[in-house]
Amino acid sequence: MLKQKNVLLKFVFLGIIAVFGFGIGQGILAQEDDNVCIVYFTGIGCTHCAQADPLVLEQLTKEYPNLVIVEYEIYQQKENAPLLYEYNSVYDSGLGIPLIIFNKQEHILGDKPILDNVREMIENKDSNKCPLIDGSSVHFKDLDIDSLPGKPKILKQGFQTLPDNPGQSSGKIKTQLTLAKILSLAAVDAVNPCALAVLILMLTAILTYNPKDKKRVLLTGLAFVASVFVMYFFYGLIIIKFFQTIQVLTSVKIWIYKFLGGAATILGILNIRDFLKYKPGGFLTEMPMFLRPKVKKIISGITSPKGAFGVGAFVTVFLLPCTIGPYIICGGILSACELMEIFPWLLMYNLIFIFPMLVIIGLIYLGLRKVEDVSAWKEKNIRYLHLIAGLIIFGLGLAMVFGFV
């Protein structure tokens, strides 16, 4: 009898364990299905994304252990950019960023709506399947991460995957690529015959007025170059602000980078054309012929450093037609940066731009060269200057178009 009771107790005990274990298993499976999964589109350098990213990418997964974020960064990760359009075609989610997609009916576009509403939307959901690009959805536990298009980054408490070349975690790579592009563009502007010609006109005017006063030549030349530097820095900020405004108001930023690459390629071809068949006043490569007499007349009145600074600021307007090309491309690239990041890049660009001017002023001040020598050298090598500029910017343009940089 006692033995039968023991057998019965064993069965009861095993039954309790089985039921309890089944309950735990079901609880675990239910917990796995309780994940709230969202897709988040953002971009490095997007000012509105900079407002939403700290909340979405850093805080939310800490506050909600069941939250899963499939992040697509579209500015540095070019493979992700077309996905914004594909998701919109299926989910009607909009083409702006930052953007959160829950499902076909629920999405949040813009930094303020995200900051105001995302917590409430997460808290009102027991679960949310991961919305896929084809319009279907799966629980996170069933999601095949390797099959996701582009280069997503998966964020979940205790779980994280990174793309092969994550833009957000490779600041060094980003800096190196930006450095190569900005240095190339600045070098093209620095060897621009148009800018050198204006400087030579200015130095000729100074020496004509007072040929023996080397100190005045030095100070007046430096004042002129300083004015060019200040004005071009200001123009750069305007160009960058223009691109940032476009990117905020529309979705064109995805295509701006390739457009800039195409513009650089065309500018390179125009400079190479000037090498093969040179004609003064080339379109977008030199100062137009009709402007040259006006500039010469303005510069001829320079007699002092103060006057040189004022004239330099005015003359930069006439320089823009032949120097603006590389600068626009530079501004488009830098528009993806935050304001404090922009200043060092612009300073570097413009220091490189004025460097040949400083060298010429130094050579003339030290008596190593005469203005006539510099002018003759420029005329003799003007085709080769165009060739150097053309090859540099043409190569950069192709690299940007095909996504090599």
| Model confidence at 389: pLDDT above 70 | yes
CA 39 to chain centre: 23
| Model confidence at 171: pLDDT above 60 | no
| Model confidence at 37: pLDDT above 90 | yes
The 10s digit of each residue's pLDDT in 245-277 is: 776 544 555 577 778 888 889 999 999 999 999
Q: What is the pTM of this model?
A: 0.60
Q: Which tokens sit at 147?
A: 């099959």
DSSP secondary structure letter of residue 318: H
Q: How confident is the model at residue 217 (pLDDT cuts 50, 70, 90)?
A: confident
Give dist(CA 401, CA 405) in Å, integer: 9
| Model confidence at 352: pLDDT above 60 | yes
Sorted by where each begins, the domain ranges of the chain are 1-29, 34-161, 171-401
Give dist(CA 363, CA 80) in Å, integer: 51
Give dist(CA 317, CA 302) in Å, integer: 17
The 10s digit of each residue's pLDDT in 106-138 is: 999 999 999 999 999 999 988 899 999 999 999
Give dist(CA 121, CA 281) in Å, integer: 61
DSSP secondary structure letter of residue 210: -
| Model confidence at 202: pLDDT above 50 | yes
Give dist(CA 130, CA 344) in Å, integer: 41
pLDDT of 75 reads 85
> Which DSSP string corresponds to 116-171?
HHHHHHHHT-S-BPEEPTTS-EE-GGG--GGGSSS--EEEETTEEE--SS-STT-H
Neighbouring residues of 82: CB distance < 8 A, sequence distance ≥ 6: 254
pLDDT of 158 reads 63
DSSP secondary structure letter of residue 79: G
The rounded percent of the chain whose pLDDT value lies above 70 is: 83
Query: What is the average pLDDT value for the chain, to the nearest integer?
Result: 81
Q: What is the mean pLDDT of residues 192-207?
A: 84
| Model confidence at 242: pLDDT above 90 | no
pLDDT of 159 reads 60
How many residues make up the chain in this entry?
Answer: 405
Q: How confident is the model at residue 79 (pLDDT cuts 50, 70, 90)?
A: confident
Q: Which tokens sit at 165?
A: 């070349």
Q: How confident is the model at residue 387 (pLDDT cuts 50, 70, 90)?
A: very high
Give dist(CA 310, CA 306) in Å, integer: 7
Q: Write the class of the CATH domain 34-161.
A: alpha beta
